[in-house]
Amino acid sequence: MKLSSLSFWALLMLVVATVISLSSCDPDEDFLTGDGVNIRFELDTLRFDTVFTELGSATRSVKIYNEDDRPIKLDEIYVDGTTGVSFVFNADGTPGPLVEDVIIWDNDSIYVFVEVTIDPDAPLSASPFVIEDRLVVKTGNKEQSVLLEAWGQNANYFPSRYNKGVPVVLSCDNGTITWDSPLPYVIYGEIFIDECLLEVTAGTHIYVHGGLAENELLGVFNDGFLFTLPQGRLHLAGTRDAPITIEGDRLEEGFSEQPGQWLGIIIGRESQGNIIEHTTIKNSIFGVYADSAAEVSLTNVQIHTTSSSGILGIHSEIIADNCLLYDNGANAIQLTHGGSYQFDYCTVASYGVDASALAVTNFQCYNQDCSSFDVNPLEAAITNCIFFGSRRDEVIIQDFTARSAPETMQLDMDHCLVRVDELLTRNDGEYSDFFSTYCLDCVNGDQDDALFLNRPEDDYQLDTLSIAQGRGAVLPAFPLDLLGTPRDAMPDIGCFERVD
């Protein structure tokens, strides 16, 4: 069928108009670009909710919306690539790893498909428990992103794999919940223990996923912690042959020895009967925090690589023996606002940080100038312990009463090895009697004295010429050191007994 002349010319004009319209479309003028581009992701976290028990992959999608009345052009879409695990994507039909000049028409959207492939049998450094990355959209100098989150290893994710920033109360009607799985546990969120004993059996490995989180209860806070409420208790029942380890879940190179990855263990107010045995705690902000009227005992415990204190007690009761603390970013042991404390055969090494190995106070301030305060008696019995480091004073004493009320600062140290200097002369010699009143039969070491076997390698066993050898008091209740070595008739100071 032939077109009439009118129809032919109408069709021709339509084609010409379309060509002219398309040819006049200048991206720099007609598309919104640069820092002024605003997009909306369909969600803020793209989760791959599969725990892989064998080599496998999963694909998820996310929509990117342009809610403007003008079309926009996205300069770049890419995956940040911070974890080492490979996320691949396809943006509006174009595969990555970098997709450029993506157009989203006005009031329209595009799909981005993301895939992750994981080998759960690969080393944790290559396939960690919780894998996070970012899908980044860049326009000008502006970056907008969606979090990519996957689980690489087969483990017990507790409370669940969707619990980032979410507090969960663990309760069992005053019974016991036991963690005894051969698979590791990954704490993903905050666990509050109430009306329950959480018992962790020997040999258990716990990884904690930290980072900043936010919720209505706590506001903005550091995620990843165990917290005992007044009727809750915790028993970490490690043994010498099968210790428990609690650490951050970032095990790739550069993170395994990084402090501050998760918050720590909090023994909350009035929580009683908490026991930690043969356990290593690392990578946290603090190791163990015991709040007012709380009670915890630590036996054969190592706490290291923390960004703040290793042990922090506030008007609490702490008993510790055969413990090793090192690489703590603040006062390694901080005992404040009084309380009752007993430490035997502990080694506390504080090097490379402007903080002490031991700090004790009998008060707490409630405002900046301490015009509002409270004094509470401190009783501390410390025997056969090492408090040493790179500062001139590794023991700090702060008595709010300036020694006018001796009953509020009862610090009894016996057969300890310390390093103090200005403590003896500061404030007109307030503590010039330190070695006759507070620290009896103690050794005041010097930086040049032989002490540890290999401190740069964090080996705090005693050197062959160590000044701690044979200087301790005999304590029959502790016949073995941290490694299970028998102590002799003239024991060494600290958690390690030197064996020649």
42: domain CATH number is 2.60.40.10
**Residue-level pLDDT at 253:** 65
Cβ 498 vs Cβ 462: under 8 Å: yes
**Residue-level pLDDT at 167:** 81
Q: Is residue 24 part of a domain?
A: no
**Residue-level pLDDT at 8:** 38
- Tokens (6 digits) for 268: 């909350």
DSSP letter at 39 equals -
Does one domain contain both 267 and 346?
yes
We report the CATH number of the domain holding residue 217 as 2.160.20
Q: Strand pairing of 87-91 and 108-118?
A: antiparallel
Does one domain contain both 118 and 164?
no
> What residues in the chain have per-residue pLDDT under 70?
1-29, 51-54, 82-85, 160-165, 252-254
Does one domain contain both 78 and 201?
no
By the 10 Å C-beta count (0-12 exposed, 13-18 middle, 19+ buried), 458 is classed as: middle
Range of the domain at 211: 156-462
Does one domain contain both 83 and 162?
no
Does one domain contain both 160 and 129?
no
Domain boundary among 100, 124, 151: 151
**Residue-level pLDDT at 83:** 56
Does one domain contain both 276 and 252?
yes
Domain count, the chain: 2
Domain boundary among 151, 176, 206: 151
| Cα torsion through 331, 335, 341, 347, rounded to 10 | 0
With vertex at residue 298, the alpha carbon angle to CA 176 and CA 498, rounded to the nearest 5 degrees, is: 140
Does one domain contain both 162 and 147?
no
pTM of the model: 0.79
Does one domain contain both 364 and 404?
yes
Does one domain contain both 188 and 305?
yes
Does one domain contain both 117 and 186?
no
**Residue-level pLDDT at 12:** 40
Q: Is residue 493 part of a domain?
A: no
Does one domain contain both 282 and 357?
yes
Q: Is residue 263 part of a domain?
A: yes
**Residue-level pLDDT at 16:** 40
Q: Is residue 413 part of a domain?
A: yes
Does one domain contain both 309 and 236?
yes
Residue 127 burial (CB count, 10 A):
24
Q: Is residue 489 part of a domain?
A: no
- Tokens (6 digits) for 188: 């993903």
Per-residue pLDDT tens digits for 456-498: 999 999 999 999 999 999 999 999 999 999 999 999 999 999 9
Q: Is residue 187 part of a domain?
A: yes
Residue 282 burial (CB count, 10 A):
22
**Residue-level pLDDT at 189:** 82
Q: Is residue 357 part of a domain?
A: yes
Domain boundary among 99, 118, 151: 151
